[in-house]
Structure formats: C-alpha cells, structure tokens
Structure 1
C-alpha cells in the first residue's frame, strides 16, 4: 500500500458518484472542497455524496473544506476572457460583470493598496499587470503578461499591506457550515500568526466541531512565524500558488523543504499543494518536471500531495490521480527510514517507544506495526519516524480514522471499544487480519497506551505472532 496520502479537490470534473468512486479506488484519502468557489448548497451535495461513498469503504475518505481566507478575488465574468500583452485593463472596486477591458475586484481598499509602478498578479501569478494610474475606484493597468482569466481568480499585490481580518465573515460562516456537517479538516488561508489559528479553533469549539485545523502557508509573514504556526496548527499546507507570488519564486523550493523538515520533526502532517500535475488539466500525461516535483516532495518528507484543478475541472481527473499514485509508489521504493539521528535532546517515553517500535519492526521483518489509539497520537508519533512497515492504527473513534488519513504511512481501522488490554490486542489483531494486511504466522509489533482510556498515553510495546 502507498504511504504518502493524496488530497483531491472536488469540482465539476469529478463530482459524480461514479467518478468519486474511481478516485477513491485510485488512492484518494482526502476530498477537498474549495470554498473560494460554489455555495453551501453545492458543497452540501458533495459532502453527502462523499458520506454515501464512505458507507462502502473500509477506510473512509476524509473531507477538508478550504476557507477562502482574507485573499483578494476578481469578480464575475460572463465567460472566460483573454488579456492581451500590452493592452490596458481597468481594475475597479465597482460591482459589475467583468470583461477584457474592465474587471471588478472584491477588495474595497485596493486603490489605496497600490501606487503607480506597482505590480499586480492574477491567477497564482500567471498574469502580470503594472499600475499606470489610479482614479478613484479605478486602477488603470497595463497587461505585462497576459493570459486567460475568469471568475473569482486570486489577486496578489507583493509587498502591500492588505487590511483584511484573519477570518472574514464569509470564512466564519463557512466554518460553522463545516462544523454543522461534521467535516474533518478546515484549511485556514493566509495564516500569518498562531493567533489566527487559535481564533478559528475557538470558533470550532463553540460550534462543537472536532475538525482539525490545517494552516496554509501563503505569505512571508507565515514563513517568518512558521515555528509558532506549526505548534498551534494540527497540520500544514505548503500552498505554493500564492506563496510563489508573495515571495520570490526561486525561494519556494527551499521554503518548502524547510517547512516539511520542521513538520516532520514536530510530528505534524504536511501537505504540498499547487501545480503538482498542472499540465494534466488539459493533457493526458504530465511533464517530466511535474513527475520529478511530486517525487521530490515525497522524498523531502511530505505526508500528502494535493491535486487542485487537475481533478476539480481538468479533462483527465482519473488519469491525474492514477499518475499521482504511480509516482508515489515508485518513489517510496527508495525511501529510507527517518530515524532522526540528529536529535540530541532526551526523548519522551512516547518517542523512545516509537523509535523502538520502528526499529524492532525492521529487525524482525514484521508484517506491520499495529497501534491502538484513541486520539490518533500514538499513530502520528510512529508516523514521524517513517518506518518501512505499514502502520495500522486501530481506533474506536470514527473521527480519528478520518484525521489519520493525512498521516504518512497510517492505515486507519475502526474497531469497537475494548474493555481491557487483552481484549484490545485480540480485537486489534483480528480486525487487521480480516483486512488481509496480515496473515497467520506473521510477526507484528503492537503498541498502545495502558490504560487505553487515557488519550495521548503510549507506554506499551509487544511483539506478537499472528494466530
């Protein structure tokens, strides 16, 4: 089984029950709903489709809703429009239907945020405009690098201080919608500090949500505050689209590697996103550079890789995830265990046991590592060390089976709550045996926290021969 997880963005190209089933069978672990597009009605339809699909799956697909965040977006177009190099275009805060000559923008302070000579980037930096003049609500620009543009594309103004709240009214409303519909992850866009994350967590707690918060790293402030953000968040997304406009694009690879390393050391799942197989939105095969990009993200230590337009509105959604799966499996053949030899600080009991579990599984040629976990902590701690053996996390918590869908190498399995340690081990082994992942005579390494009812406890390890 593959160990690196796949996040697929759901959209018109893949939201039929048949296509969702194909994506699940091809390796989709998490379904992403982009709240920069669509409304609650359309998103609810997709949530219900995924929940229905989950009734037929051994490991349910988790749902991640991606909040729009305090980013700036274009207004609505009647149809796709092409901006030509050298032409003039007016960006305006007036509400109107956009065309190639005048485009509405949803940030009312936009004219105050730019000056003559400023550069404005649209659609993850693929379109470049230069400000020539400002007249009231209108910003007159020259198209430096043109291209196709349509409704709700993102806008970046490098170096500008954008006066927007961390969580907009729309974001708060969308987060409450996510809580009401029991989604598993909520992505917070344009995080700047740990305070932004805590604000969302407080909102979710008030709405009785168990959703994990994924902090999207998209601006230089987030990069500068990465340590506190990793500590506060439940997971991280390296959102290279906006990040590659907010910082010099040549810095993105090193920033990506730095963030992944810090997340690995902290034991927090990290997703690498944006343009991974971008050419497959139109072509049936990716470029060699894209294949190498995906492979290198995995070798860097990413827990998950993400498909955006490739599955949401591309011509080949099934081919895209199938290719992603193939790249993952081939890359993982050459991956080494991440034992983190450079750690000099004393280890906690949990981490000492985790390292011992991974080493023992390797030395004994065990078929699998079985972790018994209530909160997911045990499985995530072992995942941190990247063992070659599969980590099968048995848990009585449906919530945690979905949360663990973002953790590298973890195969979550729902079991009933056991009364004592002996029953727990017996039930865990039997449940895993039924999946076909282990067989009679196999050696497995089992770890848990005793007593099991205490979340986050890990103090037990056993080598077991499957009967």
Structure 2
C-alpha cells in the first residue's frame, strides 16, 4: 500500500470525466483548485465532476482551494506578449495602460513606495530580471538584465523586500467564501509570512461559522521560512511551494529549506506537502527525467506526507501518466525504507500528552507483535494523525463517522480512511472497525491488529485504549511449541487403531496423548494438537525435535473439534483457526 499521498491540480487537461476517473484510479488523493486561474464557473464545474467521480469510485478524494495570496502581477499586453531585450528600459506603472515593450501596468498600487533604486525585480517566476533605476510618482523605471518574452498576468516578485500590502485581499476573502459555500475540505494559503496570516484566514472561517475547512500554509518567501515554527503551530499542515520560493530565496537554499520544513512537520505530526516542478517534463513527455524521479524519491526519504502535481495534470499532455508515474516512484521508494528501524531510532519528547503517548504505544506494539494493521476509531481524526507522526510500517485504518473527516484524512501519510456507523459499546466499536478493515482487504482471518480508540465511545479527544486484536474466532487454544504454522484437515484419533485407519499424511493430528508407537504418523502430520499438558510432554518434545507446530494442553480438543475441518495451527500464538474449506 502506498503511504505517501498524491495531490493533483485540476485544469483544462482534466475536464474530461474519463480522465479524472483514470487519475483517481491511478492514485489521486487530493484535487487542487488553483484560484490564481479560472472563473468560479470553471471551478464549480470541476468540483461537481470531482464529486461525481469520487462518489462513483467510493474514494475520499479531498478538494483543496489554493488562494492567489498577496501577489503582484502584470496586466495585459497588446497582442498578449512582448519581447524584452537585455539592456533596455522597461517601466512598471500603477496607471491603466496597454502593455508594450516599454511599459506595463501592475496590480499593486503601492509598489513605488515599497521599492528603491537598486531593488531587484523578477518577472514570470524569475525568468526575467530587472533592476530599479528610477522611481517617479506612479512609475518604476527598470533596467532589463536578460532577454526574454513576457506575457499577460505574469508574476512580479521583489526578493528581500517586505511589501506593505495586507495579507488577505478582498479577492482572497471572496474566494474563501466560495470555498465555504461549496464544501471545500482544505485551503492552501499562499505566501504565508507569519502566524498572523494564517489566523486572518481562520477568522474569516470563524466569522462564517465554518469548522470543516483545514488550512495548509504555503511557505514561499524568506519570512515564511524564518517563522516556520509559529506558522506550523496555528496551521493544519504546510506546503513547500518551491516555485515562488526559488524566486524569492537563493535557489541553492531550496533543498536545505525543504528538508528543514519537512522535519518540522514530521515532528509536529502535521502534513508536509512537497510541490512544484516535481515531474514538469511530463507536461510534454510521457516519461520523466531521471532528475525528477530522484527529486520525488528524495522528498519521500525526507518524510514528506504528500507530493504534488501542478501543470503536469492541470495543463499537461499526459495527466494520467503523471499520476501513475508518481505513484510508482512512491511505492518503490517506500519499499526501500525500514520504517520499523526509523521508529526504534526516533527520540521521544520529554513530556508527551496522553493522546501522543497512546499513539506511540500503539505503533510500537504493532511493530513488536508484527500486526498487519493499526485500526483507530476517531471522531475528529486527530488520533489517526498522531499515529502517522510515528510512521508505522502497517497501514493506519482510520474509522470515522464524518464524511468531512473521511476526506480530511486523505491527505495524511499512511492513513486509509473509512466511514463506519455510530456504535454505542466498546465491543461493537472493536468488532465493527476490524470488520471494515477485513472487508477492505487489509486484514484477514488470523491476522493480528492493534486497535486504538476512546472510551467512552463517541467523545472526541478521549483516546485511552489499545488492544492487540486477533482477527476471526479461534476454535481452540493451548500452549504452543515453536513458532510455525501448520495447515491441514483435522483427524481426531483417540486410540492407536484409529490413527492407523483414519490418518492421512498432511492431516492435523488431534489426540489425548502421544507416544513413540505413533511416531511415524506424527512425522507425517502437518501439525499436532494434544490434550496432555506440559512443555516436557512427549508431544512437545517431538514437536521441538521435528520442528513441527504443536499445541499441548488443548483441553477438550478431541470433543470440541470436528473431523475433516481445514484449520491452521499457530504454534507461536497457541491457537487453532478455521481456514476456508
């Protein structure tokens, strides 16, 4: 099972229902809506298409609204684009003019007050560099440093300058309201500089009584990097937005910053998203470059929760192939990571809360008993998110009652969200959650699972129970000898004569006691179940000598079991389980 989640940006290339369905089948966990582009009508059409596909496929694909943020952009050029020549003069103005090779309007009216002569300006994500040579009224005269084309609405970045514009624009607030009204699950807040920026968005959500949208802070500038800890404290996750970050900050710092942000998220138990140019060559090619493959893999080695596709799916020629490629890289990389070793080596905090301590204990217990899954029943999803903080090897099956929480957990590393009905008792909670995991194929009869939940049932934040749970009912138990499992059909023999007439090689011999007189038959049995107790008994010694699964002290075995039933004899656990007949 792939643990790292995949975010796909929707756009013109995904407007086909069939393409979106194939992307979902290939591994899309979250759909991103980039509000720097497109109209509300276009976004709503894509959201409705997403809802249709995720309902048909019964997948918890979340919807993420990515805000424009406090950005500066060029306005329109005559003919759509112009060529700027190195050494030429280019004017940015707050007046409304039609753009030419000499002048263009910008969206931020106070930029002339925020910059000074010598300030470096970057156009179109840094493709064109300019230096301010003169400021006069509403106009900023610049010297073009390198040649290139620039077109309508391209970005204007001012590295190292703190702009005086408010963080939350009227347009962003309007977009957030659209997200509230249309049931988006996440808001990705662009250009977050400090905790206050995140709180501004949270105040908008609170004002509209919205508690169902979680906030992802996009780190894209030096302020955001410096204030990562305070930002993380008030947000629900972080995106390493390497596009604008690479413009605002020296690009040689990006790998170091990426690792640092992922580490902070990893330790806080909040999702880290690694984004921008991960498979960019796949916008035009069906296969990625070797460098892109390594980039995706390294983010996973670092511990990222999710990896994101931008233009590759929104406007690329191969959106489905891009998702398949990302999923394949993630699965192969995860297979190379020893998560048990990482958990053993992970240092513990000096003072852990009860929920955190329970999550850590559940993960270490699952490792110690080689559990096939960790099943958690959670009202808010917080217990599940705490579990993924410790990166356990088995999948985390999160059983929730809320559709919104169901989709929220689709972003979290290693979590398989499932919707379960409301239950009233602890026994019902354990049985229902284990049954859901079994039906979905994550558990089977005889598997061990760790189940964690809160008692009393249904109270948020009350996780206080861990149970090592054996899936399926055992027919019998006793004292196991060895660690092997034997599978065969039961042959109940109370006398030596019965053994010689009934037994077939490969059967599971069930007897009151054993002796050397039946040693030949014992050698040919797949397993032995003996009512006689004691690890010094004849059956126990033979089992150890022949390296054969044996259970001794199986009281009433010759009466409780039935001839011909196919069973598994698990010596390590000392139990007998029914197998498919």
Higher relative contact order (CA 8 A, sep 6+): 1
* 252-261 vs 382-391, which moves further: 252-261
Which segments of 5 or more consecutive residues in structure 2 lack a partner in the other structure?
A: 473-581
Q: Pick the aligned partner of 2:307 from 285, 305, 308.
A: 305
CA shift, 1:274, in A, is 1.2
Change (3 A) 1:359 1:342: closer
1:214 maps to: 216
Q: How many angstroms apart in 2 are the aligned matches of 1:194 and 1:107?
A: 23
CA distance in 1, matches of 2:101, 2:322: 32
- Please tell me the root mean square deviation across aligned C-alpha atoms, in Å: 1.8
How do residues 274-289 of structure 1 correspond to structure 2 at under 5 angstroms?
274-289=276-291
1:426 aligned residue? 431
Q: TM-score, normalised by structure 2?
A: 0.77
Larger radius of gyration: 2
Q: Which residue of 2 aligns with 1:36?
A: 36
> Which stretch has the larger CA shift, 443-452 or 171-180?
443-452
- Match of 2:175? 174
Query: Deviation at 1:99?
Result: 4.7
Q: Deviations over 1:3-40 (max 9, x none)?
A: 00111111111222111111111111111111111121
Corresponding residue of 1:64: 64
Structure 1 consecutive aligned stretches of length 4 or more whose deviation exceeds 6 Å: none
> CA shift at 1:2, angstroms?
0.7
**1:378 aligns with one of 383, 396, 403:** 383
Partner in structure 2 of residue 122 of structure 1: 123
Residue number in structure 2 paired with 1:73: 73
Query: How many pairs are equivalent?
Result: 467
Quote the Cα distance in structure 1 between the aligned partners of 2:224 and 2:124.
Answer: 20
Cα separation, 2, equivalents of 1:221 and 1:232:
16
Aligned to 1:56, what secondary structure does the other structure show?
helix
Deviation at 1:148, TM superposition (A): 4.3
Q: Secondary structure at the match of 1:357?
A: helix
The verdict on how the C-alpha distance between 1:434 and 1:99 changes in structure 2, with shifts beyond 3 A counting, is farther
2:215 is paired with a residue whose SS is strand
Inter-CA distance 51–99: structure 2 relative to 1 (3 Å threshold): farther
Aligned to 2:91: 90
Quote the residue 1:332 is aligned against: 334
Matches within 5 A, 1:236-385: 236-337=238-339, 338-339=342-343, 341-385=346-390
Aligned equivalents of 1:103, 1:212: Cα separation in 2: 38
User: Which one of 401, 409, 422 corresponds to residue 414 of structure 2?
Assistant: 409
Q: Distance in 1 between matches of 2:175 and 2:463?
A: 36
CA 353–25 in structure 1, closer or farther in 2 if over 3 Å, else same: same
Aligned equivalent of 1:152: 153
- For residues 410 and 95 of structure 1, what CA distance do their matches in structure 2 show? 51
Q: Does 1:49 align with 2:46?
A: no
Q: Any idea what SS the aligned residue of 1:8 has?
A: strand
Gap change, CA 1:443 and 1:151, over 3 Å in 2? farther
Q: 1:440 matched to which residue of 2?
A: 445
* Secondary structure of the corresponding residue to residue 120 of structure 1: strand
Distance 1:357 1:131, change over 3 A: same
Alignment match, 2:537: none
* Partner in structure 1 of residue 394 of structure 2: 389
For the residues of structure 2 that align with 1:255 and 1:119, how far apart are their CA atoms? 22
Contact 1:59–1:413 (8 Å) recurs in 2: no
After TM superposition, the score normalised by the length of structure 1 is 0.95
Moved more, 242-251 or 89-98: 89-98
Using the TM superposition, give the Cα deviation of residue 238 of structure 1 relative to its aligned residue in structure 2, in angstroms: 1.1
What's the offset of the Cα at 1:87?
A: 4.3
Is contact 1:4-1:328 (8 Å) kept? yes
Give yes or no for contact 1:59–1:401 (8 Å, CA) kept in 2. no
Worse-superposed segment, 64-73 or 96-105: 96-105
Give me the whole-angstrom Cα distance separating, in 2, the residues matched to 1:321 and 1:81: 35
CA contact (8 A) 2:160 2:222 kept: no
1:417 CA drift (Å): 1.2
SS at match of 1:451: coil
The alpha-carbon deviation at position 325 of structure 1 amounts to: 0.9
